[in-house]
Amino acid sequence: MNTPAPAVSSKVSFTCGTFRVRKPEDTWSIISPDLHKFGITRVADVTGLDSVGIPVAMAVRPLSQTLSVSQGKGRTLLLAKVSAAMEAIELWHAENIAAALSSFRATGAELDLPYAVADLESDPGSITGPRTPLRWVTGQALLSGRPVPLPQDTVSLAAKDPLTWRAAGLASTTNGLASGNNRAEATLHALYEVLERDAVARSQEGRARVDYVDPSTVDHDDCQTLITRLHTASCYVELSRIVSTGPVHCFTTRVWSEDFPVMAFGSGAHTHEDVALSRALTEAAQSRLTAIAGSRDDMTRFYDYVRLGLVDRPVPPADVQPWNSLPRTTTPTVSDLENEVHRLAQHLDSQGRTPIVVDLSSRDDFAVVKVVVPGLTMDPRARPAATAA
């Protein structure tokens, strides 16, 4: 085990498509010697399997309890490798929470919960309620620091016994699972993800307005470089902004090409619109390469679509707008990630949605957290009843 690095400040020191408190080469030097301790046997560059050229890497964990391959993307190959490795490390921590957290058994009705159990994301057909006996772990309310119990199933991704019948219940997902160079960075990226996925779910339900954007009019240089790469590879690119996502910008991207006729989807949220759009673009490239590489355990349907020719050429939306015509709000300066975590947590609290964080970290030189915001979801089918209107 490496000697733990000194506590890292929450001041932003890197802003290329993401806001980090360490440069990627410093993060890589910390995590790469110990990848095997998290079951990672290989971090591979798969960018060349596609014609687009946006960097994508994958990290392999053969003994994973969830997915054995994790993907990462970025504007550079090093960023993509760090992204892939940290995603695999996140999963390892979520699969192995028992050693780090104590748990207890109770019903929600027996606990002083600041939320309703029904507000937690559930599997379709869930029968879990306030009087269902559950195992719980203890997190913290982000703003107050108050201890708050969370059902263990909302935090843990440990493998379930396939021979044991379980009633439909609370969803176990990676939503809000994030890592970073310190706790503030990990928590901020978890909050961005929770807000992004809830915005996408609301747009799919028709509860959030979507503005389509002409990709050729985007005037952020780095984002336009990514769009140009996609167009040069003869890809159809569709951009949209989800309106009314609170304190963050949220964009989605769809990418399709004749040589791999599957619609790849990407989304991204961030305080800065160029970072949010960059994330959406690079995630679409990552989704495309994930399918092309054929290494994910859960994506067999992609190949059915390609083999059977089930995906038609996309039809561009009729109401595309120029980038500069989009309504804009003042973008706050993000120089300290701790302050940004506080700002987002204040916004959610003001909406009656208390963000709860569980620290899963096993080391001092980087952090892994799970953030749960009761009332928000990533799956329209699992929209909590309290927010379904």
Above 60 in pLDDT, residue 383?
no
Q: Which pLDDT tens digit goes with each residue over 49-88?
A: 999 999 999 999 999 998 899 999 999 999 999 999 999 9
SS3 310: coil
pLDDT attached to residue 259: 86
HSE-CB of 160 using CA atoms within 13 angstroms: 12
pLDDT above 90 as % of the chain = 68
Q: Which pLDDT tens digit goes with each residue over 4-59?
A: 444 678 888 777 778 889 999 999 999 999 999 999 999 999 999 999 999 999 99
- Angle of helix 24-31 versus helix 77-95 axis, rounded to 10: 40
Distance CA 250, CA 277 (A): 7
Phi-psi group of 234: left, alpha or beta (phi > 0 → left; psi -120 to 50 → alpha; rest → beta): left
CB atoms within 10 A of CB 20: 23
Mean pLDDT, range 137-153, rounded to an integer: 95
Which has the closest alpha carbon to 322: 243, 219, 223, 217? 217
Q: 344 pLDDT band (50/70/90 cuts)?
A: very high
Q: 159 pLDDT band (50/70/90 cuts)?
A: confident
Q: By CB neighbour count within 10 A (0-12 exposed, 13-18 middle, 19+ buried), where does 274 fall?
A: buried
Q: 100 pLDDT band (50/70/90 cuts)?
A: low
